[in-house]
Amino acid sequence: MKYIFVTGGVVSSLGKGLAAASIGALLEHRGLKTLMQKFDPYLNVDPGTMSPYQHGEVYVLDDGAETDLDLGHYERFTSGVLSKMNNLTSGQVFDAVIKKERRGEYLGKTVQFIPHVTDEIKCRLHKVTGDNPDVDVLITEIGGTVGDMEGLLFIEALRQFALEVGKENVCFIHVTLLPFIKAAGEVKTKPTQQSVAKLRELGIQPDIVICRTEADLDEDNRKKIAMFCNVEKKNVVAFRDVAHTIYECPLDLRRDKIDRLVVDKIGLGHTPAPALDDWETFVRRVIHPKHKITIAVAGKYIELQDAYKSIYESLIHAGAHHDTKVNIVRVEAEAIEQHGAKAVIGDVDGILVPGGFGDRGIEGKILAAQYARESGIPYFGICLGMQIATIEFARNVCKLRDANSTEFDKNTPFPVICLQEEQKGVQDMGATMRLGSSESIVFAGTKAADLYGGASHIQERHRHRYEFNSDFQDRIQEGGLVISSVSAKEGLVEIIELPDHPFYVGAQFHPEFQSKPNKPHPLFAGFVKAALDRSQSH
């Protein structure tokens, strides 16, 4: 087993996760079986309880793990199957250590940061590779910035681990920033030098330094970084700002042969250079599409880049599939409440209402769904967006006045969306939702069945507490809404659709967690196609 550890320096938001995912993609294209993992130094057990303002999107895995959004990049860039084991937080580490201590497993010893906490971290590296013995390379990204107090134990654990498994099996990559100082007209290497010095103080000499830079990296600066950081010049790699799409990142890193440097370091130099034709074709399709559509995304964290990350990526995948650029207009749901849907959204080719929690902006989203339904604009509701469509239909078509979800109105006369029985006693907020992948049945003859290529059973990932209330199923179906999929086990409503509308689909699950470049999710592909048809008929 070979190991790559990716640390970051100088500042956060450098694209460390994308760098790690890109390396994963390149190694996979060299024929290596790659698995990716993230260590996050914060104390939350997982990001499931964090606000999108803190953390961006919570990415859900098949096994129901609520994880960092970098795992989304990993799944989109590589094919390794990720689980709870692939995202470790300080919260989990300390939780495990304290539980062991309470069980008396430390046999009377004083429990200490070193070795007990660092052992727990190393244990996760062994566990994830033990569970996946056919993997050739494990890539572990360490969240945060080197020098942060909270990351120290992770760095120390990696230092020990490299000694234990043999340094020839480990490649340390440090991602830093080369700021461009406008007034001086110069790229500065000092922050990189100091950040690597910090890492070396902690006992780790990086093998490769990846420098994030707006412009190119010239020879002089490469030499300077090599000398001060104690790495060979060829191992100073530029990671330039990409012009169009994050899917250019592996191609950019490849310019300095990052994958060759890595395999040479860990003794896998015999693997062939990556054949990247499929990746390049995809990138070309993203950059030079024939068509263009406009999709409005009506949500409540619209100003945040990362809050609906996987949805935006899924639209790009589906767009590339249809040779179409998807122009996304981010609409603040509360603005719709004030000014009306038509005024705020205007004439777009599609409207998407993403997942969400809490009642801010709910009425605006309901107006958006009504506007899409009444004016024949393709509508795609995801999780909360599906519940919104149900509420809107109940109120305005079935005339169930003030119908609502009990999440937003406990006393609604028509709780068309409500808590499942087993959710009612739940007290803890963390990891208690309906989470992860489960099987659903898709009914023949529906649009959903069509989109899924006639499949009668599908597997999709969930993250929600509230459900379509089966007490209202008959009344809502009589109104004309079609239930096209239900969960195999409990019969819970999974997909709703309107038959006499170009595309009006709501999914209780999160299709955005299963879309990949060159493999768009069928519901996103269908939505984009419907939007494209609309734009072309106008």
Residue range at the interface with ligand GLN (CB under 6 A); choices 32-40, 272-280, 287-295, 354-362: 354-362
Cβ proximity of 223 and 211 under 8 Å: no
- Exactly one of 29, 322, 501, 510 is catalytic; name it: 510
- Exactly one of 171, 249, 383, 398 is catalytic; name it: 383
Q: Which of 44, 31, 135 lies closest to 83, judged by CA?
A: 135
Which helix (H) or strand (E) element contains residue 164? helix 152-165
DSSP secondary structure of 352-366: EE----SSTTHHHHH
Name the token pair of 113: 């940061």
CA torsion sign, 50 to 510 to 312 to 366?
negative
Compute the distance between CA of residue 462 and CA of residue 510 in angstroms, rounded to an integer.
Answer: 6
Looking at the Cβ atoms of 157 and 418, the one nearer to ligand GLN is 418
Q: Using the rule CB under 6 A, is 40 a contact of ligand GLN? A: no
Mind spelling out the 3-state secondary structure of 316-342? HHHHHHCCEEEEEEEEEHHHHHHHCHH
Compute the distance between CA of residue 87 and CA of residue 38 in angstroms, rounded to an integer.
Answer: 5
Q: Using the rule CB under 6 A, is 452 a contact of ligand GLN? A: no
Q: How far is CA 299 from CA 69, 104, 188, 305, 371, in A?
A: 18, 49, 39, 12, 15
**Is 407 a residue of the active site?**
no
Cβ proximity of 172 and 20 under 8 Å: no
**Nearest distance from residue 208's CB to ligand GLN, in Å?**
38
Looking at the Cβ atoms of 77 and 308, the one nearer to ligand GLN is 308
Looking at the Cβ atoms of 111 and 426, the one nearer to ligand GLN is 426
Residue range at the interface with ligand GLN (CB under 6 A); choices 326-334, 353-361, 368-376, 395-403: 353-361
Q: Residue from 383, 416, 448, 532 that binds ligand GLN (CB under 6 A)?
A: 383
DSSP 3-state assignment of 211?
strand
Cβ proximity of 236 and 209 under 8 Å: yes
Cβ proximity of 335 and 367 under 8 Å: no
Looking at the Cβ atoms of 192 and 487, the one nearer to ligand GLN is 487
**Nearest distance from residue 308's CB to ligand GLN, in Å?**
11
- Count of alpha carbons within 13 angstroms of residue 434, beta-carbon side: 25
**Nearest distance from residue 405's CB to ligand GLN, in Å?**
7
Q: Using the rule CB under 6 A, is 356 a contact of ligand GLN? A: yes
Looking at the Cβ atoms of 77 and 393, the one nearer to ligand GLN is 393
Looking at the Cβ atoms of 207 and 407, the one nearer to ligand GLN is 407
Residue range at the interface with ligand GLN (CB under 6 A); choices 98-106, 122-130, 208-216, 458-466: 458-466
- Which amino acid is present at 481? L
**Is 478 a residue of the active site?**
no
What are φ and ψ of residue 231, in 5° steps? -125, 160
Which residues within the stretch 384-413 sit at the binding site for ligand GLN (CB under 6 A)? Answer: 384, 407
203: left (phi over 0), alpha (psi -120 to 50) or beta: left
Burial string for 64-83 (b: 16+ CB within 10 Å, else e) reads bbbbbbbbbbbbbbbebebb
Cβ proximity of 25 and 276 under 8 Å: no
**Is 120 a residue of the active site?**
no
**Nearest distance from residue 206's CB to ligand GLN, in Å?**
39
Looking at the Cβ atoms of 103 and 489, the one nearer to ligand GLN is 489
Q: Using the rule CB under 6 A, is 465 a contact of ligand GLN? A: yes
CB-based closest residue to ligand GLN? 355
* Contact characters 301-340, ligand GLN, x per CB under 6 A: ----------------------------------------
The site that binds ligand GLN (CB under 6 A) totals a number of residues, namely 10
**Nearest distance from residue 493's CB to ligand GLN, in Å?**
12
Q: Residue from 464, 521, 529, 534 that binds ligand GLN (CB under 6 A)?
A: 464
Q: Using the rule CB under 6 A, is 362 a contact of ligand GLN? A: no
Residues known to be catalytic: 383, 510, 512
The residue ranges that bind ligand GLN (CB under 6 A) are 355-357, 383-384, 407, 463-466
